[in-house]
């Protein structure tokens, strides 16, 4: 800088008089556009003032004048990084490092770009290289911890955070990283403490609010979670991750309309954001909001076929009956959300006097799974089986929870334990057969099974389909829900029970209380079609059929469960659009007593099933209460359950193969009271003599299946499809 003007500008720049310096540099460049010093220093001023586009333009010109300065490429990388041009920033940092391999700032920044691109392994290599020569750079330790979190290496991430916290116990980023690592370790309460400390140190740490919200949501503290997401969005308006997480929390609170708005905003920002489109479809179905449904579902199907993450497997069950598509969505979910781990154990074989079976579920409470299986647990042969429950949610104080706690030999609450701890518990207890009663339903602990703690691992009851996981050995099925032709679409081997795979509790009581149609808002004389399925199972195709039935049967009504107001309003509006008065859609308020609900169900004339996701527990309710259930058999496991139930109760004439047949049977039954009465009489006889509601018989058959699985494992044989013979009462 021998030139007088350059020296003057430099002095001003050093003194903080950047505007005056910038004017002089600009004057110099008007006279000589290729003056490197003026280009470089003016670009640096723009960089410091946040005018990254102007800075980048000047750096690009300066590079053409002098391409040997590593600091020029470093600064250019900073500008490009702030402009959201990561690939170009990586190139700039690479040029800086090529000219000075020891340029630690450039290597660290290159790592931060790679972090943002989720290229965690490469980022970690950068940070390790920096720390090998400068172990005192605490910021780099924090960056390293973030990379380790991305790689799910939470133990090392904890150690990285502790290195920083040993020097500065109030470092907000280290506290945040430690909290995030504890979340991955399943130590949620401890993680909350870390996030609280991070926010005390930095009240504007948006990521700490976000992660604290995630943990609170996991702990079912949804209102608190929302407050944290709102604060994060105040600090980072439009942040797509926060919007999506907030939507899922609104979903858990059944505030579907608000969740829908957040999801639509997410897709406006990024139409390919993982799971958002599938969650939006599921949310609209919850609200019976069917606009653009086909368009969204077509895109989801195409994206799934291309291997893209679009929805969780349970959501896919509601929109497709393609076994191939259901397998694909399950495999994608497992690969990304609960991949197989390097197994700590390899399914050891034990020599116990009794076969040790552990059922793992979040639904040991008032839930359909508990309602269906309570009798099964009570009927297990304790002389041959040692039965344990691992409950992934705390008790809800209901009678069914108390009953289940009594039904098991060991009942262990593991809601506050990590997946690792649950896997270790199964191993320490030397469990022979671990049964996952959740599958991909809410609060599942699939990741515990991924560690292969038990020799035999079984998918049963909670999720209607394959889990697509290499660490699940068997799925319990029957010949109706899984025909042999469908074996290629199941990761597991099928353990066939002789009748229906679905257990039922023959001890369920139907209240003696008398309900009247008038009190329930139903017509005293009109025909009552009903379905007590969740409303998200109702799709426009089946609703079209139901409305034609109402138009065809004068005075008839459709009786549905009362859920959210928007869904009820939408269904009545859809009825009006199909030429049916909305008043002919009747809604039953929630009945807290299961016994009273069964008694109330007797008011219905015919239960109508849904497709592609059949009724499961609600169809069993209807049949147990003496109400015939009409189903249409589909292609998927979930769409064949209704047929499985009807075969097992001896009413195959209520299984329709096509939509036209389904409609025709419903019309015939509504128009011919004698035919319907004969069916009701047949059901009344069969419910106590056929296999569907024979809990003891079902339990013996399931125990035969468990024994076969155990014997194969003890003999060193791989899982294989098999069927057990029926075991009727002696």
CA separation for the pair 632, 640 (Å, rounded): 8
Over residues 79-94, the pLDDT tens digits come to 999 999 999 999 999 9
Over residues 248-263, the pLDDT tens digits come to 999 999 999 999 999 9
What local confidence, expressed as pLDDT, does residue 343 receive? 60
Inter-axis angle of helices 641-648 and 617-624, nearest 10: 30
pLDDT at 347 over 80: no
pLDDT band at 345 (very low <50, low <70, confident <90, very high): low
Alpha-carbon distance values, 416 to 187, 188, 291, 390 (Å): 8, 8, 41, 11
463, 312 Cβ separation under 8 angstroms:
no
Mean pLDDT of 707-711: 98
Q: Which two tokens stand for residue 165?
A: 């916290």
CA separation for the pair 538, 531 (Å, rounded): 9
Q: What is the mean pLDDT of the chain?
A: 94
Mean pLDDT of 111-130: 94
Alpha-carbon distance values, 473 to 253, 271, 493 (Å): 35, 36, 6
What local confidence, expressed as pLDDT, does residue 1 receive? 46
Mean pLDDT of 415-419: 86
SS3 for 42?
A: helix
CA separation for the pair 672, 186 (Å, rounded): 59
What local confidence, expressed as pLDDT, does residue 152 receive? 84
pLDDT band at 22 (very low <50, low <70, confident <90, very high): confident
pLDDT band at 2 (very low <50, low <70, confident <90, very high): low
22, 47 Cβ separation under 8 angstroms:
no
CA angle, corner 562, sides to 361 and 662, nearest 5?
A: 85
CA angle, corner 74, sides to 72 and 78, nearest 5?
A: 115
Closest CA to 437 of 391, 470, 394: 391
Quickly list DSSP for 61-116.
HHHHH----HHHHHHHHHHHHHTT-HHHHHHHHHHHHHH-TT-HHHHHHHHHHHHH
CB burial of residue 729 (10 Å; 0-12, 13-18, 19+): exposed
Closest CA to 390 of 340, 427, 348: 427
pLDDT at 498 over 60: yes
End-to-end CA distance of the chain: 104
pLDDT at 630 over 60: yes
pLDDT at 713 over 80: yes
Over residues 25-57, the pLDDT tens digits come to 888 888 888 999 888 888 888 999 999 999 999
Q: Which two tokens stand for residue 610?
A: 């849904």
Q: Give the CA radius of gyration of the chain.
A: 31
154, 181 Cβ separation under 8 angstroms:
yes
CATH 1.10.220.10 fits 528-693, yes or no: no
**CATH class label, 355-496:** alpha beta
CATH topology of domain 4-232: 1.25.40
Instruction: Look up the pTM and report it.
Output: 0.86
Instruction: Give 652-661's long-range contacts (Cβ < 8 A, gap of 24+).
Output: 653/679, 654/628, 654/629, 654/630, 654/679, 655/631, 656/630, 656/631, 656/632, 657/632, 657/633, 658/632, 659/541, 659/545, 659/632, 661/632
Structural domain spans, the chain:
4-232, 234-337, 355-496, 528-693
pLDDT at 463 over 50: yes
Closest CA to 588 of 613, 622, 628, 543: 622
Domains 4-232 and 528-693 share a fold: no
CA angle, corner 449, sides to 443 and 453, nearest 5?
A: 140
Inter-axis angle of helices 52-65 and 70-82, nearest 10: 150
pLDDT at 99 over 50: yes
CA separation for the pair 225, 216 (Å, rounded): 5
pLDDT band at 138 (very low <50, low <70, confident <90, very high): confident
Closest CA to 91 of 103, 105, 108, 74: 74
- Residue 434 has phi, psi (to 5 degrees) of -105, 125
pLDDT band at 344 (very low <50, low <70, confident <90, very high): low
What local confidence, expressed as pLDDT, does residue 208 receive? 97
| Superfamily (CATH) of domain 234-337 | Tetratricopeptide repeat domain (1.25.40.10)
Of 16-25, 455-464, 484-493, 695-704, minimum mean pLDDT range: 16-25
Mean pLDDT of 606-631: 97
Of 60-74, 486-500, 705-719, minimum mean pLDDT range: 60-74
- Reported in sequence order, the residue ranges of 266-393 that DSSP labels E, i.e. its strands, are 355-361, 385-391
Over residues 425-444, the pLDDT tens digits come to 999 999 999 999 999 998 89
Number of Cβ within 10 Å of residue 422's Cβ equals 24
Closest CA to 451 of 470, 429, 475: 470
Closest CA to 311 of 268, 263, 253, 240: 263
């Amino acid at each position: 800088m021998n030139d007088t003007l350059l020296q003057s500008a430099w002095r001003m720049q050093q003194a903080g008089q950047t505007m005056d310096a910038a004017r002089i540099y600009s004057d110099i460049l008007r006279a000589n556009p290729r003056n490197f010093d003026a280009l470089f220093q003016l670009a640096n001023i723009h960089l410091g003032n946040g005018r990254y586009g102007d800075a980048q333009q000047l750096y690009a010109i300066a590079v053409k004048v002098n391409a040997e300065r590593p600091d020029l490429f470093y600064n250019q990388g900073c500008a490009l990084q702030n402009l959201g041009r990561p690939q170009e920033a990586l190139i700039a940092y690479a040029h800086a490092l090529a000219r000075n391999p020891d340029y630690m700032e450039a290597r660290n920044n290159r790592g931060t770009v790679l972090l943002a691109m989720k290229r965690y392994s490469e980022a970690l290599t950068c940070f390790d290289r920096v720390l090998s020569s400068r172990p005192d750079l605490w910021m780099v330790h924090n960056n390293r911890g973030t990379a380790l979190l991305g790689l799910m290496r939470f133990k090392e991430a904890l150690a990285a955070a502790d290195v920083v916290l040993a020097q500065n116990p109030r470092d907000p980023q280290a506290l945040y990283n430690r909290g995030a690592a504890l979340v991955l370790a399943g130590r949620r309460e401890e993680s909350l403490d870390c996030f609280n400390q991070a926010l005390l140190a930095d009240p504007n740490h948006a990521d700490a609010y976000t992660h604290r919200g995630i943990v609170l949501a996991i702990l079912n503290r949804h209102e608190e979670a929302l407050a944290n997401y709102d604060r994060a969005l105040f600090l980072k308006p439009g942040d797509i991750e926060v919007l999506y997480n907030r939507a899922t929390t609104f979903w858990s609170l059944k505030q579907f309309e608000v969740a829908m708005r957040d999801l639509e905003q997410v897709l406006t920002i990024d139409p390919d954001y993982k799971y958002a489109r599938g969650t939006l479809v599921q949310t609209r179905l919850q609200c019976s909001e069917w606009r653009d449904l086909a368009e969204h579902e077509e895109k989801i199907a195409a994206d799934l076929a291309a291997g893209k993450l679009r929805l969780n497997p349970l959501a896919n069950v509601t929109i497709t009956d393609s076994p191939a598509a259901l397998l694909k969505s399950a495999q994608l979910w497992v690969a990304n959300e609960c991949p197989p781990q390097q197994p700590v154990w390899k399914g050891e074989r034990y020599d116990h006097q009794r076969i040790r079976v552990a059922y793992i579920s979040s639904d040991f409470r008032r839930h359909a799974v508990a309602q269906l299986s309570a009798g099964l647990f009570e009927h297990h042969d304790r002389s041959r089986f040692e039965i344990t429950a691992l409950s992934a949610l705390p008790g809800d104080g209901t009678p069914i929870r108390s009953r289940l706690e009594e039904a098991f030999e060991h009942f262990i609450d593991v809601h506050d334990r990590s997946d690792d701890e649950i896997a270790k518990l199964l191993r320490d207890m030397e469990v022979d057969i671990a049964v996952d009663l959740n599958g991909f339903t809410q609060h599942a602990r699939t990741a515990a099974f991924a560690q292969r703690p038990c020799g035999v691992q079984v998918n049963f009851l909670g999720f209607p389909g394959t889990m697509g996981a290499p660490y699940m050995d068997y799925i319990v099925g029957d010949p109706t829900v899984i025909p042999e032709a469908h074996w290629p679409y199941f990761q597991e081997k099928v353990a066939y029970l002789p009748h229906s795979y679905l257990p039922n509790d023959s001890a369920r009581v139907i209240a003696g209380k008398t309900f009247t149609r008038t009190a329930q808002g139903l017509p005293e004389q009109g025909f009552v079609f009903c379905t007590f399925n969740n409303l998200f199972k109702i799709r426009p195709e089946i609703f079209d059929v139901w409305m034609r039935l109402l138009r065809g049967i004068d005075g008839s009504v459709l009786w549905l469960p009362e859920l959210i107001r928007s869904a009820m309003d939408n269904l009545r509006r859809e009825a009006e659009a199909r030429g049916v008065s909305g008043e002919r859609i009747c809604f039953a308020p929630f009945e807290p007593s299961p016994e009273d609900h069964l008694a109330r169900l007797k008011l219905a004339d015919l239960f109508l099933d849904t497709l592609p996701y059949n009724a499961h527990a609600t169809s069993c309710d209807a049949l147990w209460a003496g109400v015939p259930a009409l189903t249409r058999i589909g292609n998927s496991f979930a769409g064949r359950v209704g047929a499985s139930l009807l075969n097992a109760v001896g009413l195959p004439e209520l299984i329709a193969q096509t939509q036209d047949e389904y409609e025709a049977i419903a019309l015939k039954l509504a128009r011919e009271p004698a035919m319907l009465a004969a069916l009701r009489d047949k059901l009344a006889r069969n419910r106590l003599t056929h296999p569907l509601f024979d809990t003891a018989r079902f339990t013996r058959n399931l125990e035969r299946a468990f024994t076969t699985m155990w014997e194969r494992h003890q003999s060193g044989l791989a899982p294989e499809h098999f069927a057990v013979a029926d075991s009727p009462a002696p």
